[in-house]
């Protein structure tokens, strides 16, 4: 059997605790080597939970691992990811890649220049129901779509603070839903929109094929459970996916297996850093559409 990929986790916030650490520690394709976070106490407590090393510095982590998983604020991800790529380490990246296209491009360029494997944790893209839905859409001729990401995440709980409340839903969950819509209907040529990302946003999206989609985003709506849905319509048939229903343990196990594979091969992946850059460009276009 191949030895597991030895991964160092960077960040010890809610998402690192809930997803990255248990996912990487569970194996068999990866091994959680240890944790570094900006605040030493945070790294120490998360490392202790998993019985792994709390690294004193990012450089110490880089020296000891084959790959790096980043679960930090978007403002911090570009510098750390570029340093990891320069050190020849594969990177498991979070969405959004950065606060803006410049940050995202730095990551995509470093990954390409140093030939390291990369995977962006676009949660829904690893779910069976979503992969089946996208394969189904591939066999039809879509004329239009409706998609939404609606949650109450900004109203309270682990994700109600910091950069999310400052920048809003477009930067936080826009990468998920814009990625799904573009993957389903093809390249986006135009985005119009209205609203406030801290409250409610509606986007009118035109695809290269001529298909049109309407995308709704809000993380400040009292709804439980939250919704991540895409419906695609054509003249012959239509299809629908409740993407949230598929984001379960099995999809995170697939993240681990596919990350380990790209970490070893350096091969491209549909959710790699270059895709992350393209998604960040879509987010930026949507942001511009709101201020017109
Ligand atoms: N894929 C998904 O479905 C999904 C879901 C949820 C979150 N996420 C992503 O996961 C990432 C982490 O999210 P989160 O919810 O855990 O909380 P967060 O507030 O976005 O990030 C918290 C982490 O960022 C670190 N950090 C903050 N400023 C830093 C800086 N200047 N330099 C280095 N590190 C810094 C913190 O370190 P200290 O606390 O140690 O200071 C902490 O570990 C985000 O990018 C988020 O978008 C993805």
Share of the chain above pLDDT 70, in %: 99
Mean pLDDT of 52-70: 98
Query: Which CATH fold would you assign to the domain 128-245?
Result: Dihydrodipicolinate Reductase; domain 2 (3.30.360)
pLDDT tens digit sequence for 105-115: 999 999 999 99
- The tokens describing 10, both together, are 């960077």
Give, rounded to a whole angstrom, the gap between the first and last alpha carbons of the chain: 56
User: From the CA of 10, how far away is ligand 1's center (Å)?
Assistant: 9
Alpha helices in the chain (DSSP H): 14-15, 21-26, 40-50, 58-64, 77-86, 101-114, 128-137, 162-167, 169-172, 174-185, 243-246, 249-265, 273-291
Q: Which atom of ligand 1 is nearest to the CA of 159?
A: 15
Full DSSP string of 57-110: SHHHHHHH-SEEEE-S-TTTHHHHHHHHHHTT-EEEEPSSSSSSHHHHHHHHHH
**Confidence band (pLDDT; 50, 70, 90) for 92?**
very high
**Confidence band (pLDDT; 50, 70, 90) for 247?**
confident
User: From the CA of 133, how far away is ligand 1's center (Å)?
Assistant: 30
User: From the CA of 26, how far away is ligand 1's center (Å)?
Assistant: 21
Mean pLDDT of 139-148: 97
Contact 133, 288 (CB under 8 A): no
- The tokens describing 279, both together, are 């998604």
Where in the sequence of the chain do the CATH 3.40.50.720 domains occur?
5-123+249-272
User: From the CA of 172, how far away is ligand 1's center (Å)?
Assistant: 11
Q: Which is it for the CA torsion 189, 195, 197, 200, positive or negative?
A: negative
**Does residue 101 have a pLDDT over 70?**
yes
What Cα–Cα distance (Å) separates residue 267 from each residue in 210, 223, 242, 271, 289? 32, 40, 30, 11, 34
- The tokens describing 244, both together, are 């949230």
Predicted local distance difference test score (pLDDT) of residue 2: 87
Q: How far apart are CA 56 and CA 40, in angstroms?
A: 7
**Does residue 1 have a pLDDT over 70?**
no
**Does residue 43 have a pLDDT over 90?**
yes
Full DSSP string of 137-167: HTTS-EEEEEEEEE--GGGSSTTSSHHHHHH
Predicted local distance difference test score (pLDDT) of residue 213: 98
**Does residue 248 have a pLDDT over 90?**
no
Q: Which residue has the higher pLDDT, 1 or 103?
A: 103
Nearest to 68 by CA among 82, 52, 56: 82
Enter the pTM of the model: 0.98
Predicted local distance difference test score (pLDDT) of residue 240: 98
pLDDT tens digit sequence for 3-21: 999 999 999 999 999 999 9
Predicted local distance difference test score (pLDDT) of residue 246: 85
Nearest to 159 by CA among 287, 15, 46: 15
Mutate to test the pocket of ligand 1, among 72, 77, 170, 228 (most ligand atoms within 8 A of CB): 72
Predicted local distance difference test score (pLDDT) of residue 249: 82
Query: Which CATH fold would you assign to the domain 5-123+249-272?
Result: Rossmann fold (3.40.50)
Predicted local distance difference test score (pLDDT) of residue 242: 97
**Does residue 219 have a pLDDT over 80?**
yes
Predicted local distance difference test score (pLDDT) of residue 211: 98
**Does residue 168 have a pLDDT over 80?**
yes
Mutate to test the pocket of ligand 1, among 10, 12, 13, 226 (most ligand atoms within 8 A of CB): 13
Ligand 1 first shell, C-beta below 6 A: 11-16, 37-39, 42, 71-74, 76, 94-95, 121, 123, 159, 162
Which residue's alpha carbon is nearest to atom 2 within ligand 1? 123
Mean pLDDT of 220-226: 96
Query: For the packed helices 273-291 and 101-114, what is the interaxial angle rounded to 10 degrees?
Result: 170
Where in the sequence of the chain do the CATH 3.30.360.10 domains occur?
128-245
Mean pLDDT for the chain overall: 97
pLDDT tens digit sequence for 254-288: 999 999 999 999 999 999 999 999 999 999 999 99
**Does residue 241 have a pLDDT over 80?**
yes
Mutate to test the pocket of ligand 1, among 23, 38, 162 (most ligand atoms within 8 A of CB): 38
- Who contacts 254 (Cβ-Cβ below 8 Å, separation ≥6)? 126
Share of the chain above pLDDT 90, in %: 97
- The tokens describing 219, both together, are 């993380």
């Amino acid at each position: 059997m191949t030895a597991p990929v030895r991964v160092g986790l960077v960040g010890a916030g809610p998402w690192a605790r809930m997803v990255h650490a248990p996912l990487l520690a569970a194996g068999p394709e990866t091994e959680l080597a240890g944790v570094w976070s900006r605040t030493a106490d945070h790294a120490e407590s998360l490392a202790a939970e998993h019985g792994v090393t709390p690294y004193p510095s990012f450089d110490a982590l880089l020296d000891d691992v084959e790959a790096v998983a980043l679960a930090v604020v978007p403002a911090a991800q570009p510098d750390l990811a570029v340093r990891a790529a320069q050190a020849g380490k594969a990177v498991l990246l979070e969405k959004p890649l950065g606060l803006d296209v410049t940050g995202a491009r730095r990551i995509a360029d470093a990954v390409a220049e140093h030939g390291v494997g990369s995977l962006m944790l676009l949660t829904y893209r690893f779910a069976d129901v979503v992969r089946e839905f996208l394969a189904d859409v591939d066999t039809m001729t879509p004329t239009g779509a409706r998609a939404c990401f609606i949650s109450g995440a900004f109203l309270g709980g682990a994700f109600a603070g910091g950069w999310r409340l400052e920048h809003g839903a477009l930067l936080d969950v826009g990468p998920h839903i814009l990625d799904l819509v573009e993957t389903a209907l093809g390249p986006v040529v135009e985005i119009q929109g209205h609203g406030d990302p801290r409250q409610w946003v509606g986007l009118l999206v035109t695809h290269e094929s001529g298909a049109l989609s309407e995308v709704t985003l809000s993380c400040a709506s009292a709804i439980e459970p939250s919704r991540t849905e895409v419906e695609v319509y054509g003249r012959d048939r239509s299809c629908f996916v409740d993407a949230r229903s598929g984001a379960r343990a099995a999809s995170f196990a697939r993240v681990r297996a596919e990350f380990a594979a790209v970490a070893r091969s350096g091969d491209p992946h549909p959710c790699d850093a270059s895709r992350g850059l393209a998604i960040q460009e879509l987010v930026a276009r949507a942001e511009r559409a709101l201020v017109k």
